[in-house]
Chains A and B, each alone.
Chain A
Amino acid sequence: MRMSSFSFPKRLRLAMGRLRRADGRGASKGKRYRALFLTCLYTLTLLLATGIAGTAYALTVSPAKIEMTTDPGRTVWGEIELFNEQEGTRTFYTSYENFESRGDSGAPYFTGAKSGLATWVRTQSEVIIDSRERIQVPYTITIPANAKPGGYFAAVFFGSQPAQSTGGGEVTIGGKIGVLVLLKVSGDVDESAGLVDFGSLNNQRFFSTLPVVLEHGFNNTGGDRVVPRGEIKIKNTLQLTSATLLANENEGSVLPNSTRRFEVVWGEKLDENEKRGFFETALLQVKDFHFGWYSAHIELTWGESAQKAEATYNFFIIPWQLFTIILIVLGLVWFSFKVWIARLKRTILAEAIRNKQ
């Protein structure tokens, strides 16, 4: 990491000097053009390297998420690693914003930096990173002594300073990459949360085969984020366990005053536009046969007081494609048998008549 400074490189200065000297001594045109060419080449290289000639943004941050717990009045510190993946030196400008939950997917919604964690976290205002350099940027978080116990959430951004548009009809594209900070100020924090619902996607009760997509909503009305943990046990008609699945495999958090939905897939999830044909489905039903009434039981635990919640959802798997094929085959066998019997009867009758005659 270094502070920004600008100077022409040594070879460029030499080339420019040669150009001046060439002019001064009345050197040949060829020498002048060569010096001019070198000057232009270095200038172009410099422009490209310093990003004046239109740049991109390519930055990697690590960690992507910081989780910490501390006491009011304390200052904690850490480091964020930045990796400038571009050729050329780049300047990244830091900014901070609080975030809350938006929707039910675990995506952050940024709400500005008027108070809270976004005003407590600090790092250098700009970071200059050389081409393909990896640096550690220190940060501090100073918790006010009167900070209320509970969860605080903010992001530290490293962004490009968008170049100003110079002409009409132009759109300037800026980029920012954020490191999420999930801070708990220790103390007496209200823990209030629970399972909102549990079922299958779109409340589907009948399935012909796997996958069965289960989902559960978890609501947090407490003062800090919670991470619900637990299992979903799926039992078949004979009450034998068919599958045990993690209810929150990625250990996603539910922020205060929000509901988050978690999706758990039994079987291999299909791509959004993937459709299985009749025979492909039947083949899958043979390979991974499930039939009858199933019950999925979810049991979740969360919080420091290890609170629990559970629910059960019943559904059916009827492999009708496979059954249809089996019925058709059985029908054909029955029909062939009937035809054969009829022919046999006719043959015996004809033979009996012949014998009688």
Chain B
Amino acid sequence: MPKTLSQFRFITNCSLIVALVFMLVGGVVPNTAYAAALTDKSDTLSSLKDSTVSNHTILFTTPTGVAAGETITLTLTSFSATSTLDFEDLDLSIEASGGDGVCDTGDTEKTLAASASGATWGAERTSATVITFTSGTDTIAAGAEVCVEVGTGAEEGATGVEQITNPTAGSYTLDIGGTMTDSGSVAISILSDDQVSVSATVDESLTFTISDNSIGFGTLSASDDFFATGDTNGSATEVEAHTLVVGTNATNGYTMTLNGATLTSGSDTITAIGSSNTASSAGTEQFGLRIDESGGSGVVSAPYADTGFAFDTAAFPDQVASAAGASANTTYSVRYLANITPSTEAGAYTATLTYVATANF
């Protein structure tokens, strides 16, 4: 065999042996750790408005996981975490089986403290722009979804108080790193105004209802009190003659006034009962009314609100009811009284009263 061919064979065999050895040995040589990029990264802020405090909800999936003793750092350049921000303002939770893209639901919350100890993670504000989580003995499995909550949304254990102040409007990054193997960045846009103004107008309205426009006392007698009824026949016992209903959504409420004159027959009149709330007295000339209210926030005005009767013609148009603000419908029950003396002139006495409802200014 020529020497050259023998040398070639020797080299080829050696190469094959070396390759075989490499192939065999390669499987038992420890894997070398290579830094991988975090996936499914996001940082959701409760407010994107500049110079405003905000909560952060940070999510990412770590392909490699986090080993015991390693750290996760969150670097928010140009943001500002107050010096009193501590582990109570932070939450760290893991969803090992895949991940659902949200925090809390299905997550396992990690126990946090100011420093790492055993299974408890250390969580601290390293500087105004850096937050560090340090593992004690605990680990995060490869492929796990990691959630970090910062601010008042961190409700595991104690509810968070401190938040992070946004920088001025512009584009910024959240860098996720530390001694953990994987790393990545999330872009954050801070806006000068993150709120959209939505406006709608509700016009003020006023509703006014009168249940009856003709009531009567029938034939009056000096020997008994008479009260008006809706059927115009009158009653010797006090009854409601009609109702008024007023309601408004106007912020300054409404006022209802009364105008008119007492019972009149030609030049004869039945004396109005006057400006003070007075009890009925049979055999005395009296014409007046009283009002009760129910529902809404409307109230009857003096002197019509008491158990006696009043008819203050001197103050006409006289305020009889009002509401100081917006009010659901208030129903006012109106009762009318007419009494005469034996010497009251005979005649057909009538009266016209007008109730006026307007909003307040």
User: In the complex, what residue of chain B is closest to A168 when comparing beta carbons?
Assistant: B348
A56-B212, A64-B205, A182-B361 known; A252+B252 contact, CB < 8 A: yes
B62 contacts chain A at the CB level, 8 A cutoff: no
**Contacting residue for B349 out of A55, A168, A252, CB 8 A:** A168
Asked if A177 and B361 make an inter-chain contact with CB atoms under 8 angstroms apart, the answer reads: no
A107-B319, A174-B354 known; A163+B214 contact, CB < 8 A: yes
Contacts of A174 in B (CB 8 A): 213, 352-355
Asked if A159 and B354 make an inter-chain contact with CB atoms under 8 angstroms apart, the answer reads: yes
A318 contacts chain B at the CB level, 8 A cutoff: no
A56–B334 Cα gap in the complex (Å)?
Answer: 14
Among B220, B353, B360: residue with most chain A CB under 10 A: B360
A64-B359, A108-B360 known; A175+B208 contact, CB < 8 A: yes
Contacts of B251 in A (CB 8 A): 250-251
A62-B203, A63-B204 known; A172+B353 contact, CB < 8 A: yes
Contacts of A179 in B (CB 8 A): 206, 358-359
User: In the complex, what residue of chain A is closest to B244 when comparing beta carbons?
Assistant: A175
B218 contacts chain A at the CB level, 8 A cutoff: yes
A61-B205, A64-B204, A64-B248 known; A171+B353 contact, CB < 8 A: yes
**Contacting residue for A106 out of B211, B213, B299, B360, CB 8 A:** B360
Contacts of A355 in B (CB 8 A): none
Interface string of A172-208 (1 = CB under 8 A from B): 1111111110100000000000000000000000000
Asked if B357 and A169 make an inter-chain contact with CB atoms under 8 angstroms apart, the answer reads: no
Interface string of A224-245 (1 = CB under 8 A from B): 0100000000000000000000
User: In the complex, what residue of chain A is closest to B353 when comparing beta carbons?
Assistant: A173
Asked if A60 and B207 make an inter-chain contact with CB atoms under 8 angstroms apart, the answer reads: yes
B122 contacts chain A at the CB level, 8 A cutoff: no
User: In the complex, what residue of chain A is closest to B230 when comparing beta carbons?
Assistant: A54
A247 contacts chain B at the CB level, 8 A cutoff: no
Contacts of A141 in B (CB 8 A): none
Secondary structure dominating the interface of B: strand
User: In the complex, what residue of chain B is closest to A153 when comparing beta carbons?
Assistant: B361
A63-B205, A169-B338 known; A155+B217 contact, CB < 8 A: no
Asked if A160 and B213 make an inter-chain contact with CB atoms under 8 angstroms apart, the answer reads: yes
Smallest CB separation, A173 vs chain B (Å): 5
Asked if A169 and B219 make an inter-chain contact with CB atoms under 8 angstroms apart, the answer reads: yes
**Contacting residue for A157 out of B220, B319, B356, CB 8 A:** B356
B176 contacts chain A at the CB level, 8 A cutoff: no
Among A61, A110, A170, A174: residue with most chain B CB under 10 A: A170
Smallest CB separation, A178 vs chain B (Å): 4
A62–B248 Cα gap in the complex (Å)?
Answer: 10
A65–B249 Cα gap in the complex (Å)?
Answer: 11
Asked if B361 and A105 make an inter-chain contact with CB atoms under 8 angstroms apart, the answer reads: no
A61–B250 Cα gap in the complex (Å)?
Answer: 11
**Contacting residue for A173 out of B214, B252, B324, B348, CB 8 A:** B214
Contacts of A160 in B (CB 8 A): 210, 213
User: In the complex, what residue of chain A is closest to B357 when comparing beta carbons?
Assistant: A177
Smallest CB separation, A302 vs chain B (Å): 15
Asked if A162 and B356 make an inter-chain contact with CB atoms under 8 angstroms apart, the answer reads: no
Asked if B355 and A60 make an inter-chain contact with CB atoms under 8 angstroms apart, the answer reads: no
A253 contacts chain B at the CB level, 8 A cutoff: yes
A85 contacts chain B at the CB level, 8 A cutoff: yes
Asked if B322 and A170 make an inter-chain contact with CB atoms under 8 angstroms apart, the answer reads: no
A57 contacts chain B at the CB level, 8 A cutoff: yes
Smallest CB separation, A104 vs chain B (Å): 12
B190 contacts chain A at the CB level, 8 A cutoff: no
A299–B14 Cα gap in the complex (Å)?
Answer: 97
Contacts of B244 in A (CB 8 A): 175
Contacts of B139 in A (CB 8 A): none
**Contacting residue for B207 out of A55, A59, A250, CB 8 A:** A59
A175–B211 Cα gap in the complex (Å)?
Answer: 10
Top 3 A-B residue pairs of the complex, sorted by shortest distance between their CB atoms: A168-B348, A62-B205, A64-B359
Chain A residues within 8 Å of B, Cβ to Cβ: 54-65, 81, 85, 101-102, 105-110, 153, 155, 157, 159-160, 162-163, 165, 167-180, 182, 225, 250-253, 255, 263, 272
Chain B residues within 8 Å of A, Cβ to Cβ: 203-220, 226, 228, 232, 234, 241-242, 244-245, 248, 250-255, 257, 263, 265, 299, 317, 319, 322, 324-325, 336, 338, 347-361
13 CB contacts below 8 A, A to B, read: A55-B213, A57-B210, A58-B209, A59-B208, A62-B203, A106-B361, A110-B356, A170-B350, A173-B354, A176-B356, A177-B357, A252-B361, A255-B361
